[in-house]
Chains A and B, each alone.
Chain A
């Protein structure tokens, strides 16, 4: 487990009087008072090497005083250790914007959801809701259904004498809906116009990967400033999580990063298993199946990335070739799990069903042919002079930026840092398979492209090893965990009655897009108290305004596609 030990912080205890170190089996916390918070974070970042910013958010305890507990998660890449810094506050916090830029976006989200005011923040605006929204949704006194104050009768139009009885009736009063004036106020507060014209790129545009709203301040064709307005796809997943049981929340994790649903499912299931402590009870067959499906999904996701990236740059046929291979992968996943996009196949304790007949032969046939297809596409793209000209030297991210902006996934690997959760904190069958991590040199868009192509080949290697292992396992090997003592710890297949003891954990998985992390705070019972989802795409996106400064608009597409964001994960 990559949690830091108490010995590392002995000398810090002498400098900071209110520092308390708490070491639990699933997490290591450093408790500090609010006045010494910035000093401690600076000391951790500069002297102890905890340079990578992972996450920051707040847990609400309405019957305690002070009310909010803020936490900051940091990571040391060289020594591979993680630490959580906690403090208590009543409603204000100092801003960590100067230490990590990614903290600026995390703080905007906390202000939006909890109403915490950050001192020293340069532009404290709401992250997901529109500016004139009055409430703070994630507080415990905000009801799950919201405040239905707006009158919207149009949802109940009656056609042909349709009798609106029973389950289908919508109420005439609705929760608040933004108007055009609200959106204009949001846009004005976000970006102060300095140059010739402000171009709205989005939120409905075929070039942005989803409903993201970019504002470009243009001088001719050159971008002077750039900012992003998020929240068009915000569905309140974290609020819903406080009302669902642990197994039922699995359904929401597919819909966040809908392109790589199996990897998100696996990350959640592994987090709950680690919190329960039943990682060793999960049978070997289930671990191999989960790993194999996750790698298939990784290839699937990278194929979609490649198709849309080439489409945006202009090579229109690669899109359809990539989707041909994606069809085959989705046929495989459909035959094994039953669904193509929102999958929910892993369960807490194993997988839902065993593999059907013929699955391994189909996967072997796919794996045999796929490298040839990859080679074909590389012939069209990789050494093409137009492609090289368009991609080299564009969107360069250097090593310090990776730590400052909290970048993970292929973006960090393209800049030379071999950050891969599958090697740093292995889960499932990853400790038992062999694979390499591709790492780039310059950190430009072309290197990220090469890194992702190489990742596809490494995924093929993992799948081959898993298939040969699964072929040799007997048919009757179990695919779901058996609890050693059903009275004390129940692990049901359908999830009813799964009780989790008190505790907290942060656990992450390697999504194709970055690091998807779950911070679960549990006070016992069947439903979690607070779930914070660390989206890889959101922190990868926060480097976009810096990369777009002084560039032409035509680069906007290339840079955005190389960061590979998915709005479902950013907005949750």
Chain B
């Protein structure tokens, strides 16, 4: 009985932490993006609200919540609201299987900083990613507008193609690690003293492009192309409903997918790795907090890299995006699988 109560309390605490961190961080990442974009463009960005703009997300959130909720006259209200729920929930649920650090002890209980350590964790991630298609198709259809329909059809086509690509791309690390559970993949990388990035460069690059396509970031953001479709399938949404779509797509999904990318390719919470030799930890002075800091640092760096790409590159056309997915990236993943099968015995030793 006591053990069950303790377990429930721990799980409750983990859920609260994850929800708070993800949603709060999502809002503040809008400020980070605006500041980074502004400095790339030689201007300061938000500076008025709070010191150097730190309270800007609060101001934005307040403004969006108090705006009028416009609804097109002949749209489908139930599907219109359902689309939003279907977009938000799977994106946040992915964080249930992301491991933040190694197992630690508190008050005599062993706690793993991961919400649920199912042994098919990765399968859950990609299943939840596929649910995003429903949200987009429903949002475009329920808006009853030509622009929204075209935008949502484009985006749905892209997501379906890149789901296939991403699934094949991650088969490489799965073979090398031998398990689908995210916690154990990181542990295997630490045991084998090898970040899978060094032996799977092709898969990493393809995973990165598929991340950009799934979340609708440049060069694959044909959906939000202002010059043609003026925000695409979200064109008939107003107020906080409009604010939640980019929050989910651009920030929460990028965070979750880059966390999975760090877990798969960059060794999770391990410090800097010299292949086959060992680990070097410049942050050793932080003691037991060091793995968590390394994880956050790696996810942050990957996010900043995605931002950097967004504000530099132009965007592809819709038929070029799907063409690249099926004709270029998918064959490369097969080549990667063959190569992995060859070098796997060396890694397993």
Chain A contacts to B: CB under 8 angstroms: 197, 199, 205-207, 221, 310-317, 320-321, 324, 380-381, 384, 386-387, 389-390, 552-557
Interface residue stretch chosen among B53-61, B159-167, B221-229: B221-229
Q: Which of A324, A384, A557 contacts B227 (CB 8 A)?
A: A557
The 5 A-B pairs with the shortest beta carbon distances in the complex, nearest first, are A314-B315, A207-B227, A312-B227, A320-B41, A314-B314
CA distance A311 to B40 in the complex (A): 15
Q: Does B243 contact A (CB under 8 A)?
A: no
CA distance A207 to B231 in the complex (A): 12
Cα distance A554–B314 in the bound complex, in angstroms: 13
Chain A residues within an 8 Å CB radius of B218: 314, 316
List of B residues within 8 angstroms of A205 by Cβ? 230
Give chain B interface residues in 308-328, CB to chain A under 8 Å: 311-320
- Verify B316–A389 contact, CB threshold 8 A: yes
Q: Binary interface profile of B, 144-162, with partner A (CB < 8 Å = 1, else 0)?
A: 0011001000100000000
Q: How far is the CB of B252 from chain A (nearest CB, A)?
A: 22
Whether, in the assembled complex, B43 has its beta carbon less than 8 Å from a beta carbon of chain A, the answer is yes
CB of B113 within 8 A of chain A? no
Q: Which of B40, B147, B222, B226 is the one whose CB lies under 8 Å from A554?
A: B222
A311 and B230 CA atoms in complex are apart in Å by 13
Q: Does B219 have its Cβ within 8 Å of any Cβ on chain A?
A: yes
* Complex contacts, B43 vs chain A, CB 8 Å: 320
The listed residue (A320, A324, A384, A553) touching B314 by CB distance below 8 A is A384
Which of B42, B219, B319 sits near A324, CB closer than 8 Å?
Answer: B42
- Enumerate B200-223 residues with CB–CB distance to A below 8 Å: 218-219, 221-222
Report the Cα distance A207→B230, complex, angstroms: 8
Is A206's CB under 8 angstroms from B227's CB?
yes
Inter-subunit contact B41/A554 (CB<8 Å):
no
For B314, list chain A residues within 8 Å (CB): 310, 313-315, 381, 384, 386-387, 390
- The contact of A199 among B146, B154, B219, by CB within 8 Å, is B146
Contacts of B15-69 to chain A: CB distance below 8 A: 37, 40-43
Are B313 and A554 interface neighbours, CB within 8 A?
A: no
- The contact sample of 19 A-B pairs, CB cut-off 8 A, is A199-B150, A206-B230, A207-B226, A207-B228, A207-B230, A221-B150, A221-B319, A314-B225, A314-B315, A316-B311, A317-B311, A317-B312, A320-B41, A321-B42, A324-B42, A384-B313, A386-B314, A556-B228, A557-B225
Q: Write out the residue numbers on chain A whose beta carbons fall within 8 Å of the beta carbon of B150.
A: 199, 221, 553
B219 CB contacts on chain A under 8 angstroms: 314, 386
**Chain B residues, CB < 8 A from A314:** 218-219, 221, 225, 313-315
Shortest CB-to-CB span from A426 to chain B, Å, is 38
- List the B side residues contacting A313 at CB < 8 Å: 227, 314-315
Total number of B residues with any Cβ neighbor in A under 8 Å: 28
**B residues adjacent to A (C-beta < 8 A):** 37, 40-43, 146-147, 150, 154, 218-219, 221-222, 225-228, 230, 311-320
Are A315 and B312 in contact (CB-based, < 8 A)? yes
When distances are taken between beta carbons in the complex, the residues of chain B under 8 Å from A197 are 146
Tell me how far the C-beta of A208 lies from the nearest C-beta in chain B, rounded to whole angstroms: 9
CB-based nearest B residue for A387: B314
Q: Report the minimum CB–CB distance from B233 to chain A (whole Å).
A: 15
* Pair A386/B228 contact, Cβ less than 8 Å: no
In the bound assembly, the distance between CA atoms of A252 and B219 in angstroms comes to 42
7 further interface pairs, Cβ-Cβ under 8 Å (given A206-B226, A314-B225, A381-B314): A199-B146, A221-B319, A314-B314, A316-B311, A321-B42, A384-B313, A554-B225
Closest B residue, CB atoms, query A554: B317
Q: Hey, which chain A residues are within 8 Å of B225, CB to CB? A: 314, 554, 557
> Which residues does chain B contribute within 8 Å of A311, judged by CB atoms?
227
Q: How far is the CA of A380 from the CA of B40 in the complex (A)?
A: 13
B228 A557 Cβ-Cβ under 8 A? yes
Contact residues in A for B221 (Cβ distance below 8 Å): 314
Judging by beta carbons under 8 Å apart, are B42 and A552 in contact?
Answer: no
Could you say which residues of chain B place their CB within 8 Å of the CB of A384?
A: 313-314
Which residues on B sit within 8 Å (CB–CB) of A386? 219, 313-316
Write out the residue numbers on chain B whose beta carbons fall within 8 Å of the beta carbon of A552.
317-319
**Most chain A CB atoms below 10 A, which of B147, B219, B318, B319:** B219
Question: In the bound complex, what is the Cα–Cα distance between A553 and B319 (angstroms)?
Answer: 11
Of the candidates B40, B154, B228, B315, the one having the most CB atoms from chain A within 10 angstroms of its own CB is B228
Which of chain B's residues have a CB closer than 8 A to the CB of A324? 42
B-side contacts of A381, CB under 8 Å:
314
Q: How far is the CB of B310 from chain A (nearest CB, A)?
A: 8
Q: A314-B221, A320-B42 are in contact. Are A390 and B316 (CB under 8 A)?
A: yes
Q: In the complex, how many angstroms separate the beta carbon of A462 from the nearest chain B beta carbon? A: 28
Question: Taking the nearest CB of chain A, how far is it from the CB of B342, in angstroms?
Answer: 30
**CA of A146 to CA of B71 in the docked complex: distance in angstroms?**
42
The closest CB in chain A to the CB of B315 belongs to A314
Using A206-B230, A314-B218, A554-B228 as known contacts, say yes or no to A380 and B320 having CB atoms under 8 A apart: no
Q: Give the nearest-CB partner of B154 in chain A.
A: A221
Q: Tell whether, in the assembled complex, residue B315 and residue A321 are in contact, meaning their CB atoms are under 8 Å apart.
A: no
Give, as a whole number of angstroms, the nearest-CB distance from A376 to chain B.
Answer: 12
Please determine whether B317 and A390 come into contact, CB atoms closer than 8 angstroms.
Answer: yes
Residues of A within 8 A of B320 (CB): 389-390
Partner of A221, one of B40, B230, B313, B318: B318
Q: How far is the CA of A315 from the CA of B311 in the complex (A)?
A: 7
> How far does the alpha carbon of A205 sit from the alpha carbon of B218 in the complex, in Å?
22
Contacts of B227 on A, CB cut-off 8 Å? 206-207, 311-313, 557
Among A199, A207, A311, max chain B CB count under 10 A is at A207
Chain B residues with CB under 8 A of A310? 314
How far, in angstroms, from A314 to B313 measured CA to CA in the complex? 7
In the complex, residue of chain A having the shortest beta-carbon distance to the beta carbon of B323: A389
Return chain B residues, CB-CB under 8 Å to A199.
146-147, 150
Q: Which residues of B contact A317 (CB under 8 A)?
A: 37, 40-41, 311-312
The chain B residue sitting closest to A318, CB to CB, is: B314
- B289 to chain A: closest CB distance in Å? 37
Q: Which residue of A lies closest to B221 (CB)?
A: A314
Q: Which residues of B contact A387 (CB under 8 A)?
A: 314
- The answer to whether B228 touches A553, judged by C-beta atoms less than 8 angstroms apart, is yes
Interface centre among B227, B230, B318 (most CB of A within 10 A): B227
Contacts of B318 in A (CB 8 A): 221, 552, 554
Q: How far is the CB of B22 from chain A (nearest CB, A)?
A: 27
Assess whether B41 is in contact with A321, with CB atoms less than 8 Å apart: yes
The smallest beta-carbon distance between B14 and chain A, in angstroms, is 38
